[in-house]
Amino acid sequence: MPRYRLTIEYAGTRYSGWQIQKNARTIQGEIDAAVRSVTSRRDFELYGSGRTDAGVHAAMQVVHFDTDAVRSERSWVLGANSNLPETVSALWAQAVPASFHARYSARARSYRYFILNRSTRAALARHNVCWIKESLDHERMQMAAQALLGEHDFTSFRAAECQS
């Protein structure tokens, strides 16, 4: 059965994170429903390159799914987008080998955190920044951030059943 990779972006402000939850709106739920509507199938699984928490945004996140539905790569994108809310968008699709896995084939992940340090709150970027109105000690922050550089083992921060 052919496998497809779909690259997505989303504004996660109104979502309860990536992973499907019983009584919550999630990004995976939105993408899953949109792709199902294009495939006209009920029996497939959507795999993401990672999970995000509630309110988190993503750019260039990769998902994959297997289907025997025949569509062009352009049709996957247009079909998915026609069934997605305005806060979630499919950017491009690509047929990939069966050995490809959105999570395990990922070569890199990066995370950005934005601090808006001024006396007034943000209007335009209110969902994309952390607003701190108090003065920050940039030199101390830079010094402390040095401890985060490099490779680290965060095993002790994972849940016991985590598979990463």
In this prediction, residue 162 has a pLDDT band, given cuts at 50, 70 and 90, of low
Q: Report pTM.
A: 0.80
- 53 in catalytic set: yes
φ/ψ of 61, rounded to 5, equals -80, 145
Length of the chain: 164
Query: Helices (DSSP H) in the chain: which residue ranges?
Result: 27-39, 73-82, 138-145
**Span 112-160, pLDDT tens digits:** 889 999 999 999 988 889 999 999 999 999 999 999 888 878 778 776 6
User: Out of 32, 43, 53, 68, which one is annotated catalytic?
Assistant: 53
Q: Are 3 and 97 in contact (CB under 8 A)?
A: yes
**Span 17-66, pLDDT tens digits:** 899 899 999 999 999 999 999 987 767 789 999 888 888 899 999 999 99
